[in-house]
Structure 1
Amino acid sequence: MGTLRTPFRGVGNILRFNWHFYVIAAVFMITAAVFTAFLESPFRSILFFMVLSAVLAILTSLILSWYIYDWYPLYAFNWIQEDDEAVNIINIHAGLDETSIMLRKKFPKATITIMDFYDPAVHTEVSIKRARKRYPPLSGTRTIQTTSINFSTGSADKIFLILSAHEIRNNKERVLFFKELKRLLKPDGNIYIMEHLRNFENFMAYTIGFLHFHSYRAWRTTFRKAGLPVIKELNQTPFIKVFELKKNGVTG
């Protein structure tokens, strides 16, 4: 990504990178709607209700995605305390970097290292391939392995994982990853994780798609096993949770 976010970029990217899903859904719904003409009641009403429910679910998902990613100042990072010092920041993404430019604006004096744990053998979704083609990694981005990060111990003041850590699907791998992040932190360093949760709110927004996210309990278990106390939790809309972890802190 080479520019700041523009209006409708979030929902536009969802449509752009997942257009195949919407085409398939449209074909299915049009076919089903036509087929209702050949059915008798009550089957006609049942099929019509199913088509209407599918349309409403897709529209609701897109409207809420616009609210989360475009209308709400999600990427303004207003919840982060600005630091005028020349701190060392690590920003980690999973193939699509939508935050490094904003972090550079937020912390103009900081040294920001960008890391990417995208693995084409693991992250095989066509959507992420389209995203990487449209938004290639920024110059200087380091490719990393989640269980062994080649970076200096105790060198980072802040580490950011914005809507990326959920892509680590294996629980043990995720714990090892956060242990590595703990190693990279300075004694008073912080980690900031922003994520959707597998909860009722995200089910209402994304229906079965909410299964792609991890539960609140799963995240807290990961942090506990990695030895990283949660010192603060913030809600960014009802659909997004921010966890602030500290290397040497008191659990909140």
Structure 2
Amino acid sequence: MKIEGFEPIFGEPKAEWADSRSDSLGRFLFHVSAPDSSHLLIQVTDFRSNTWEAKRSVLQLDDMRDEIGIGGSWSEFIDYVVASIKSEDVKLILEGHSNADGAAYAKIVAQKSKGMPRISISLTRLTGSAATEAMAKLSLELFTAFRSMQTLIVQEQERCLQLEKEAAAEKERNENIQNQPLYSKRQKLQKMNFSDKTDISASILSNGSQDSPDKQAAQSPVASKVANRVIPAHRRAKVRGALLQDTEDDKDN
């Protein structure tokens, strides 16, 4: 059994007295981490006079699993513990008074949801340099988590900005592609209209030349017959004025 891939957990428990006394309690922060694959460390403090700690080995956690009555595999149990600690129903129960300022006993109680098994871990009070060291460690871990989260947010913002730029460029390319066929079609229609007009003009000119009076007269059947008709010789002579003496036919007459 090992604790692997455990991400540190920070939270604010609901602090209350076990005997429901009315003494006011300040705000607490807790930090749950796995310093190695064999232990789970829980630290709770109000950064004043109440600092608590609990360190549980995998064997102790496995015994707690049997006491609570949670079945399933080891990984499923650890997942349940994490889900319970991350829930909104995490309480810090304080009890008694110590010689110093603060409570004598404390425990963390967490429950994934109502009706589910309850995780309860007793805490040991820290004083002096041990308390100071625990508060310093929790503060540094909290700052480290904050910086990590801040870095992730900046990276996500940069990624979103890059995606927006790529989306804008893609949109511009699509608009250009969509406008290109319309432009080509418009140019093609203009060319077709110009070609049609040219053909119509040429047809009109051609028909006009074919239907001219001179050509119609030349192609008329009547005109062809008149042009091909043979003119009598005596009429040809009179017309031309080339024959000065009478022909034999005229003498007989």
TM-score calculated relative to the size of structure 1 = 0.19
Which has the larger share of helix? Answer: 2
Q: What TM-score comes out, normalization by structure 2 length? A: 0.19
Structure exhibiting the larger radius of gyration computed from Cα positions: 2
Relative contact order, higher structure (CA 8 A, sep 6+): 1
